[in-house]
Structure 1
Amino acid sequence: MNTETLHFKFLKVFCCVLLLQLGWSHALGAVTEANQTRQIQGVITDSQGETLPGVNVLVKGTSIGAISDIDGKFTLQVPSPKSVLIISYIGYETYEVIVGNKTSFNIVLEDQMNALDEVVVVAYGSQKKQTVTGAVSMMKSSELVAAPVANVTNALVGKLPGVVTQQPGGRPGEDAATILIRGKSTFNDASPLIIIDGVEQESFSQLDANEIESLSVLKDASSTAVYGIRGANGVILITTKRGKEGKPKISVTANWGLQRPTQIPEFLGSYEHLVLRKKAWENDGKDPLQQDNGLLTDESLEGFRLGEDPYRYPDVNWYDEMVNKRGALQQQYNINISGGTKAVKYFISLGYLNQGGMFKYTDLQKDYNPQVYYRRFNFRSNIDLNINKYQTLSANISGRSGEMNGFKGASGSYFQGLIAKEPWRHPIYNPDGSIAAVQGSGNPLTSIAYSGYENSKTNYYDIVGTLHNDLSFITNGLSFDMSISFNNNFGSTKKYTDGIDTYYYEPNTGRYDQLGEDSPFRFSEDKKTDPMRRTNLQLKVGYGRSFGKHNINSILVYNQQKTTSGSSIPSALMGYATRVEYGFADKYLGEVSLGYNGSENFAKGHRFGFFPSGSLGYVISEEAFMEKVKKVIPYLKVRGSVGLVGNDKSKDRFLYMGEFTGQGIYAGGGTPSFGFGTTNPSTNGGIYEKRNENKLLTWETALKGNIGLEARLFSNDLLSFTVDVFKEHRKDILLQGRSTPQIIGLSSPYLNVGEVKNWGYEFELSHRHHIGKVDYYIRGNYSFARNEVINYDDPAGTPDYQKIAGFRIDQFRGYQVLGFFQNAEDIKSSPDQTTLGGPIIPGDLKYWDRNGDGSLTDADKVAIGYSRIPEIMYSITPGIIWKGLEISVQFQGAAHASVLFAGNAGYEFGGGAGGGQVSEVHKNYWTPDNPNAAYPSLHMAAKHSNKNINSFHLKSADYIRLKNVQITYSFPSKIYRKLGMTGLKAYLNGSNLYTWSKIDNFDPETVNNSGEVYPQQSVYNFGVNINF
């Protein structure tokens, strides 16, 4: 089935299930209930599973009520099954539920983070969710810790609309997801700005999820304009946890997991491989018996078929032999301590992560550990000290230390070597137990156990101090905050080399020839990472007042930042920002934001920019005319925004400056010089101008518009949804000019000529209700973002179909395949393809002669497929809650993405006679008797026409994945209170458990054309959470 069709059917099923559940819920509510008094009981807990004492339980419209005891339990007499219970507690969302036929209730109160007056973290502050007029999505800590991932960026996958994620690899310590917000709108760095506790950071990938209180994604101009020159790609705001007044609370979390590759490539054994190899040589017009040193004789092939002599006729599945498919262990531990008094509040967190590698044979090495692993320690201390009635000092001290280890070349390049290694080359060991090899083809075992290893250590330390001043003694609502932060990271990489004897064994003579040579294990390099230091000063004046139904909130911010990295020239940013919010009766809403800041990436006089935005919101449900439908539509809001933001992230700093360089011939002392003459050239010192300066360079600008609709239907948020439609026009994108004539003799200067349009839509919806004693919920989201290049400085005279303009950013380009050549006459009557590599025979790929000149050349390449980044992301998460048991399942998918299967990942024999494997698809090659084959004719030639970039080898990277499954059991209070606990949970969860896609052998999210990637991992995890 077509994957794109599948994901649309998936959405239809989701909508149908949702409508059926709604209809069922209302049908159940319509059943006539007996009108009789009876006793009910229940237990009330918070979203973390902790019981809540002192909660008010009231029968609506009566004076009948009860209060939950120390274990969160209550008992109550209700007059009728139609009675409605109102459960309320300070700091939590008021909850209403119809009694119905139930006699026992498990009620989970959501704190105000889930209510309409939820506090949403936005730029330089927070707002009530009901009054937010920008496009903001938020995740809570509980959602982040639910996924058993070592890298917190992977916990975002499929959770938030508009957030595009892609995990390029799975090596421990290097498994962070690439994150884009609403797709890609630039040719330069499109990554969002990361802000942690108000301070800009490079990444949040190595934070411990247990430290995080909330994560907000700011998507439109209204939300990000205050960041001005850094706001065009969106912003991710992370707020870490803080202590609250009360007794000390201790939370201990432990996880034990097993990692396994999501996809294990399967290749053909030696006999089938060589049969296809023989056919490929024949197709190239070569005599197979004269190739490969007699490997393809009938006698040899029969020996490989029988497999009775593993030394003469080896058949080694190198991937299976080197990679432990049973998996590697992953462990995570965390302890959080929080509490405080009126004078001081504290939050302390300690975390440890240990990710193991999945390679065999590492135990052969006794002098060192060549196994891949990543270990990380996290620490955080957030302290809030009330100095006096008007001043509070907050101090955040955090750090992490990571260690990444592995044999030399343990990254993706090793896996590329594994899939390139033919099964027939040689065995792992020779008959005498020595390590086998052949000339020009080493043994993958030696890379693991005897090549040496690399060990990298990184350290990050952050200190943030904030003095909050309440200036209400001057006027109510006035405040002033001063924040200073220091960020420091440094590290080192140590490399060690090793070697061992390897031998080629000649079965006919019994002779052993030494190839590899034993070398002593020794230290080879200690490279210090350039330390990075960043200081930031932020001053903020805030004013917020309410005058009757009028609410005003405003901020004025000054920010300056300096970053130093090693011996590089320090970089600096400086700017001002202001935001004014106005609301009337929480019904009519408006906001204006202004950013004015600058960057040293540009010449003086062109460093500062002004970035305005405005937004409006209208809470329709607050109107009097909505009272009649209040029970059906308790909340309905429309909002819209428009604004200008910027992006100063380019490929390099100081691109506005001219560049001078040497010719590449150097005299003594390394002086750049020119060579004159050909026989005995003389050299003369000198340099030349390589690129002209362009002091008019400036930042990219993005004009963004957004329209949103938010709604909650029926009581208790039975159904809620949010829909956003957006459009962006990105201009002045910095790129190296492409239309500059080469006759000038200089490299093209960088210009602000790039232009892109990006548009799309996104929605999320949720449904929550119960069937009898079982509560259930369904959550889902869907995002679509498409870009189109408007201007890429295409040279004059370029045909429209070969321009970058008019197509998508990073869209693949190659030859459009029309089918297979069916016979010699078909080849003769078609445009000449031998220009791309021959010979051309029946069964080869037939290309479109786009320009119609009768010959296939680069001029016939066209845009094909999509880019590597998906245009569509979607997710659906159903779950049930019964007593203390909760089960949730997340399906996540992506569509409108392409991946090129070439080289070792796609071509037969890796694309050439030098090495490479073949898989099941290559057996289904074209023959006259198999004209509808899945693969063209086979060839050994590396530069054959079939092995150009083309639409046949460009595959759909669409997929649907069983992303997460979690089974959680919250033990009853009568069990854990006997042990001195205030809460106890145990859970089983897993991530990346199964994937549906059109791609064989590789994970559709991580594969590249050469297979040079450490596989993405499935994780099967058991964990416990204990609270004291």
Structure 2
Amino acid sequence: MSGKYKNLRFALVAASLVMSANGYAQTVIKGNVTDNTGEPVIGASVIEDGTASNGGVTDIDGNFTITLKGNSKKIKVSYVGMKPQVVSVSGKSVINIKLEDDNTTLNDVVVIGYGAVKKKDLTGAVATVDNKALTQVPVASASEALTGKMPGVQITTTEGSPDADVKIRVRGGGSITQSNDPLYIVDGFPVESISDIPASDIEDITVLKDASSTAIYGSRGANGVILVTTKGGKEGKTSVSYNAYYSWKKIAKKLDVLGARDYANWQYELASLLNKVEDKYEPYFGSYDDLDMYDNVATNDWQDIVYGRTGHTFNHNLNINGGTDKMKYAFSYARMDDKAIMQMSNFVRDNLSLKLNAKPTKTVTLDFQARWSKTKINGGGANEQSSTYNTDKRLRYAIQYTPFPVAGLSTDTDDDDTTNSSFYNPVTSLKDNDQRRVRTTFNMSGAFTWELYKNLKFKTEFGYDTYKVDTKRYYGTTAYYVQNVPSSENQGKPAITLTNQYRTKFRNTNTLNYDFKALFGKNSKHSLNALLGEEYIVTKNETMTNTVHGFPKTFSANDCWRLTTQGTPFQITDFYDPNDILNSYFGRVNYGYDDKYLLSATARADGSSKFSDGNRWGFFPSVAAAWRISSESFMKGTEKWLDDLKLRLSYGTAGNNNIPSGLLVQEYVANSSSWINGYNSYLAPSKTMANPDLKWETTVTRNIGIDFTLFNSKLTGSIDGYWNNTKDLLIQYPVAGTGYDYQYRNMGETRNQGLEFALTWNAINKKNFGLTLGANISFNKNKVLSLGDMESIDNISTQWASSEIDQDFVIKAGEPIGQIWGYKSAGRYEVSDFDIEASKAQGKWVLKEGIADCSNVLGTSVRPGSMKIAETKAEKTGTITTADRQVIGDTNPTHTGGFNINARVYGFDLTANFNWSVGNDVYNANAIEYTQTSKYQYRNLIDKMAGGSRWTNIDANGNLLNWDNAEELAALNANTTMWSPYTGKYVLTDAYVEDASFLRLSTLTLGYTLPENLTKRAGINSLRFYVTAYNVFCITNYSGFDPEVSAIRKTNLTPGVDYSAYPKSRQFVIGMNLNF
């Protein structure tokens, strides 16, 4: 080969090598990251701009090294709580970067209906809780995490069972007989509850409180809207987090009951009053002279036996997320296994969720999410607030059962063969009121978003939701149900009910959103955004109940459930709700000028199948305006301390169609029975009379508010005042004499008005130190303005005492909802109230003239020591009657609120959450049952009825004192304060209405996060260990188990009743948060 060709080949090879070297050139950049005080930032993310994962984190000194592989010549530096920076490194090999604190609280994005806005641009009354507040403290459900954190949002855990209802009220609620529950929206889809969603899956929660915010949801937003956004995938390398905790818990408080001697002594006195000592006392307890032997008798703590076991909870969840700019994903699994404090009670919940986001093109986005939850509740731990059978009374026998075994009367085991109907062994009662409940939910939705034109987006969403509950109930031989409901030949024999409830919901939403900023230009002071939408929702409900009576007496719960053919079919009820169809059209316009003047207008038209053609459509408009005062020229000079000051005004309407479907025409139920005309099946009309004239219940809201941010976002807060009227109330109207129980009608009006204050102070925000304090307080006052044709709704009864207390609540025009109705106590009858000479002459106790007689109310003749009731009726008759009943309590609080403390020092963090309620009353029905005999014998009492405290009618020798010993009887009781427990029926007086004000330290958490220089070596991003205490203390004057209770009948009419509720526990937790 010639030399020139050799030279040419050499030149080509050399050139290619040079080009190759340039193509694979890599630049190494070293640097240091500090904060604005010069302290190194440990763990700051340093990534090559334009890539998803090429980079790392800073070390303990804030140093980093990164090798650039692309052509961007830029790096992106970020750290939680600081402003991210994109820095050019062109021509540099060493660079130092200073990150500033991110105080852009005002630019936080807040989710609202069918969209999101910056917090600073809000015009409505909105409250938010972020993921940090939800996950910092381990909770069983997201609802619990909200307690005490939001003004205007009252959250009550109605009792202590694992499946207890968490009642949420937004600004009081305006309905009387219908639900005041808010609308729950999870990732855009309406759901019944958020109790089955683990708090660890939630990104944030937003509560919309006024109509300018809720009107976009029209008929469903009258009671407020709670928007839940679950965690989605994030751009970057796959991250894995595992959170787990283990807890143990014990009952928080027990009631003291009579000891052995006091109990035996009282049984002797009761038998003496009944003149049945020989028949009712001596066969079981011996003679009165043997009373001393009970001084050393060991007693059973039945509360401890039933509720006293140490409960355990193991909760763990796994989250995986990551993705690229084209595809993001998030997956989670959570499980909670709860062994409750009550015998034979446990709770297990499993959750799965998947969330995908894809961007196949610049103009198209695809979203998909699916959630599945399965909850199993065994035993008496299931929520029973809508039932009036003995499972609602699971506590009573733990108090009332004999404190020691009485031969022929009671036992100390769970094998109680006695036939005394006054009470049953508490463990036997639990077994005879057993149940199994499985609740399964599945939600799936997908969305297609297409940017048709610049800033013009079309979005269509489809969703499907299922809710299924299978319940198996067992009523054993001691259950109230089997003693009263079955036919005579099957009474006293076990019975079961098998209930299957199934609901499906389909949703399609289409929206068109346009942001006009491109038309106005970059430098325009105007901003305008418009939304148009259409929504279609179909809900189907079916409930089937199969009741079987008359199983062999030896059959256990499992025997009955497995061998259903061994019983007698009693009734099969299959109820199909007519489809609930809601068709809606809505729109919203947001306008802003110069970032100072903001205006939002919303309108929604809803057509509901629950109403007839003439009333089917409801129109719900709203308007809100805001003025950023801090941006005005006359506010110059305040910039150093005032970041933002905004005035908000709003007015709007929202609807409520929260009534059953099918009320326009007469409904029939398919029943199966063996006792109607000898036929086994028939169609029976429902108990509700049809009403084709029903129309929308409408709430009109007015709101004025101020938002402020001070001192470089260190102090933020808000003040809101509101005035809401709900008219055309959907009320169950009694229609006696028609063959029906009631008819739904539009009648009446209610009002809620109040003030809300919220304040957050970010006192310290340094690298190794931090302190944040938050507080909120809410005042709400409700009033019934009108009840249409009625002056009041009477005969409202909790039914806990059957017909003995036939009314214990009342609703009157001009008064608030939740007033307790009963007698005013006058203490007790003293000996001086009786005419001794007349008593001697007639051989019975005779009251003096002018002293009212309440024998009819007590169900027995009065005597010294009997409960005394004031005669309050206008025309005095000298006899206490039902006309003497009056309002004796109000279950509405004057104010509620909470405050929290969040502190951190180096790797340690401390969180304390308090909540309170002031001014509300509790109706202590427990105390009535535990301090009055009614018609029952042998039941134990609480210790306020111990000897020396209560009135006694017997002397030290066991003699029943009467008018012949009047002076001795008076002297014997000179130092006692309580009346005699002896009554013929239960009586409600104001002595059983107690102040339920409280201050509770609901959670206290101490955590420690290991230093990153240690965890990084193990490939761990962060590792935190913590301990938490729940229900640490509760300061209250309430004498019952817990002042925060509403445990009987799931209705607005009877709130704040404490009767046989599942006691609350005190819980201690150890756990960890692990992130890879």
> Is TM more than 0.5 here?
yes
Q: Which has the larger radius of gyration?
A: 2
The one-letter amino acid paired with 1:751 is: R
Q: Distance in 2 between matches of 1:386 and 1:496?
A: 53
SS at match of 2:255: coil
Q: Distance in 1 between matches of 2:902 and 2:160?
A: 28
Q: Distance in 2 between matches of 1:429 and 1:914?
A: 11
SS at match of 2:991: coil
* 1:285-304 → structure 2 map (5 Å cutoff): 286=275, 288=277, 291-294=280-283, 295=285, 297-304=287-294
The one-letter amino acid paired with 1:544 is: D
| Structure-2 residue corresponding to 1:615 | 624
| Structure-1 residue corresponding to 2:347 | 374
| Structure-1 residue corresponding to 2:169 | 180
Task: From the superposition, tell whether residues 152 and 912 of structure 1 become closer, same or farther in structure 2 (CA, over 3 Å).
Answer: farther
Q: Distance in 2 between matches of 1:400 and 1:533?
A: 15
Deviation at 1:194, TM superposition (A): 0.7
* 1:764-775 → structure 2 map (5 Å cutoff): 764-770=758-764, 774-775=769-770
Q: Distance in 2 between matches of 1:788 and 1:306?
A: 56
SS at match of 2:861: coil
After superposing the two structures, state which structure 1 stretch, 284-293 or 547-556, moved more.
Answer: 284-293
Q: Distance in 2 between matches of 1:797 and 1:177?
A: 29
Task: From the superposition, tell whether residues 495 and 186 of structure 1 become closer, same or farther in structure 2 (CA, over 3 Å).
Answer: closer
1:1017 maps onto 2:1065 in alignment? yes
| Structure-2 residue corresponding to 1:484 | 462
1:630 maps onto 2:639 in alignment? yes
Q: Distance in 2 between matches of 1:145 and 1:774?
A: 20
Q: Distance in 2 between matches of 1:109 and 1:331?
A: 41
The one-letter amino acid paired with 1:532 is: R
Q: Distance in 2 between matches of 1:286 and 1:794?
A: 51
* 1:667-678 → structure 2 map (5 Å cutoff): 667-669=677-679
Deviation at 1:415, TM superposition (A): 2.1
The one-letter amino acid paired with 1:813 is: W
Task: From the superposition, tell whether residues 438 and 564 of structure 1 become closer, same or farther in structure 2 (CA, over 3 Å).
Answer: same
| Structure-2 residue corresponding to 1:965 | 1004
Tell whether the 8 Å contact from 1:130 to 1:586 is kept in structure 2 after alignment. no
SS at match of 1:242: coil
SS at match of 1:605: helix
Deviation at 1:701, TM superposition (A): 0.8
| Structure-2 residue corresponding to 1:98 | none
Q: Distance in 2 between matches of 1:938 and 1:805?
A: 37
Deviation at 1:776, TM superposition (A): 2.0
TM-score of the superposition, structure 2-length normalised? 0.76
| Structure-1 residue corresponding to 2:994 | 955
Tell whether the 8 Å contact from 1:323 to 1:358 is kept in structure 2 after alignment. yes
Task: From the superposition, tell whether residues 796 and 970 of structure 1 become closer, same or farther in structure 2 (CA, over 3 Å).
Answer: closer
| Structure-2 residue corresponding to 1:322 | 306
User: Of 169, 192, 216, which aligns to 1:226?
Assistant: 216
RMSD: 3.8
Q: Distance in 2 between matches of 1:936 and 1:383?
A: 66
Q: Distance in 2 between matches of 1:645 and 1:39?
A: 48
Deviation at 1:149, TM superposition (A): 2.1
Tell whether the 8 Å contact from 1:753 to 1:792 is kept in structure 2 after alignment. yes
Tell whether the 8 Å contact from 2:44 to 2:78 is kept in structure 1 after alignment. no
| Structure-2 residue corresponding to 1:809 | 817
Deviations 1:448-479 (A, max 9, x none): 6x76964332322211110011122xxx3210
| Structure-2 residue corresponding to 1:997 | 1036
Q: Distance in 2 between matches of 1:372 and 1:689?
A: 35
Q: Distance in 1 between matches of 2:684 and 2:774?
A: 63
Deviation at 1:1010, TM superposition (A): 6.7
1:420 maps onto 2:415 in alignment? no
Task: From the superposition, tell whether residues 39 and 192 of structure 1 become closer, same or farther in structure 2 (CA, over 3 Å).
Answer: closer
Tell whether the 8 Å contact from 1:119 to 1:127 is kept in structure 2 after alignment. yes
1:695 maps onto 2:702 in alignment? no
| Structure-1 residue corresponding to 2:183 | 193
1:563 maps onto 2:545 in alignment? no
User: Of 202, 208, 232, which aligns to 1:212?
Assistant: 202
* 1:508-523 → structure 2 map (5 Å cutoff): none
The alignment of Structure 1 onto Structure 2 pairs a total of residues equal to: 889
Q: Distance in 1 between matches of 2:1002 and 2:728?
A: 39
Q: Distance in 2 between matches of 1:907 and 1:430?
A: 18
Q: Distance in 1 between matches of 2:56 and 2:627?
A: 39
1:336 maps onto 2:319 in alignment? yes
Task: From the superposition, tell whether residues 874 and 427 of structure 1 become closer, same or farther in structure 2 (CA, over 3 Å).
Answer: farther
Task: From the superposition, tell whether residues 234 and 690 of structure 1 become closer, same or farther in structure 2 (CA, over 3 Å).
Answer: closer
| Structure-1 residue corresponding to 2:884 | 860
User: Of 741, 756, 778, which aligns to 1:783?
Assistant: 778
Task: From the superposition, tell whether residues 802 and 218 of structure 1 become closer, same or farther in structure 2 (CA, over 3 Å).
Answer: closer
| Structure-1 residue corresponding to 2:861 | 839
The one-letter amino acid paired with 1:576 is: Y
SS at match of 1:233: coil
Tell whether the 8 Å contact from 1:969 to 1:985 is kept in structure 2 after alignment. yes
Deviations 1:525-571 (A, max 9, x none): 79462332111000011011222111111211100011122343222
Tell whether the 8 Å contact from 1:419 to 1:904 is kept in structure 2 after alignment. no
| Structure-2 residue corresponding to 1:459 | 440
Deviations 1:630-685 (A, max 9, x none): 222221111011111111112x333343579999994232698xxxxxxxxxxxxx
1:879 maps onto 2:902 in alignment? yes
Deviation at 1:620, TM superposition (A): 0.9
Percent of aligned positions that are identical? 25
Deviation at 1:395, TM superposition (A): 0.7
TM-score of the superposition, structure 1-length normalised? 0.79
SS at match of 2:873: coil
| Structure-1 residue corresponding to 2:295 | 305
* 1:401-550 → structure 2 map (5 Å cutoff): 401-406=374-379, 412-426=392-406, 435=415, 437-440=417-420, 441-446=423-428, 454-472=435-453, 476-494=454-472, 527=498, 529-546=500-517, 547=520, 548-550=524-526
Q: Distance in 1 between matches of 2:739 and 2:541?
A: 34
SS at match of 1:830: coil
| Structure-2 residue corresponding to 1:849 | 872
Tell whether the 8 Å contact from 2:825 to 2:868 is kept in structure 1 after alignment. yes
Deviation at 1:176, TM superposition (A): 3.5
User: Of 326, 346, 357, which aligns to 2:340?
Assistant: 357
SS at match of 1:556: strand
Gaps of 5+ in 1: 1-37, 56-66, 76-86, 96-106, 361-370, 501-521, 673-685
Task: From the superposition, tell whether residues 907 and 375 of structure 1 become closer, same or farther in structure 2 (CA, over 3 Å).
Answer: closer
| Structure-2 residue corresponding to 1:238 | 228
Gaps of 5+ in 2: 1-34, 49-54, 64-75, 85-97, 383-389, 479-492, 543-575, 795-808, 835-846, 953-969, 1048-1056
Q: Distance in 2 between matches of 1:759 and 1:432?
A: 54
SS at match of 2:748: strand
Tell whether the 8 Å contact from 2:82 to 2:99 is kept in structure 1 after alignment. no
Deviation at 1:861, TM superposition (A): 1.5
After superposing the two structures, state which structure 1 stretch, 401-410 or 609-618, moved more.
Answer: 401-410
| Structure-2 residue corresponding to 1:395 | 368
Q: Distance in 1 between matches of 2:208 and 2:758?
A: 16
Q: Distance in 1 between matches of 2:626 and 2:396?
A: 53
Tell whether the 8 Å contact from 1:52 to 1:71 is kept in structure 2 after alignment. no
Deviation at 1:445, TM superposition (A): 3.7
After superposing the two structures, state which structure 1 stretch, 760-769 or 565-574, moved more.
Answer: 565-574
Deviation at 1:146, TM superposition (A): 2.6
Q: Distance in 2 between matches of 1:535 and 1:984?
A: 42
Q: Distance in 2 between matches of 1:628 and 1:470?
A: 43
Q: Distance in 1 between matches of 2:1017 and 2:436?
A: 46
Q: Distance in 2 between matches of 1:938 and 1:92?
A: 65
SS at match of 2:889: coil
Deviation at 1:687, TM superposition (A): 9.6
Task: From the superposition, tell whether residues 53 and 865 of structure 1 become closer, same or farther in structure 2 (CA, over 3 Å).
Answer: farther
Deviation at 1:846, TM superposition (A): 2.9
Q: Distance in 1 between matches of 2:147 and 2:792?
A: 43
| Structure-2 residue corresponding to 1:894 | 917
Deviations 1:689-741 (A, max 9, x none): 987643221121111111111112223x3322111111111110011336x7x
Deviations 1:9-29 (A, max 9, x none): xxxxxxxxxxxxxxxxxxxxx
Tell whether the 8 Å contact from 2:342 to 2:381 is kept in structure 1 after alignment. no
| Structure-2 residue corresponding to 1:511 | none
| Structure-2 residue corresponding to 1:978 | 1017
Task: From the superposition, tell whether residues 181 and 88 of structure 1 become closer, same or farther in structure 2 (CA, over 3 Å).
Answer: farther
Q: Distance in 1 between matches of 2:435 and 2:537?
A: 34
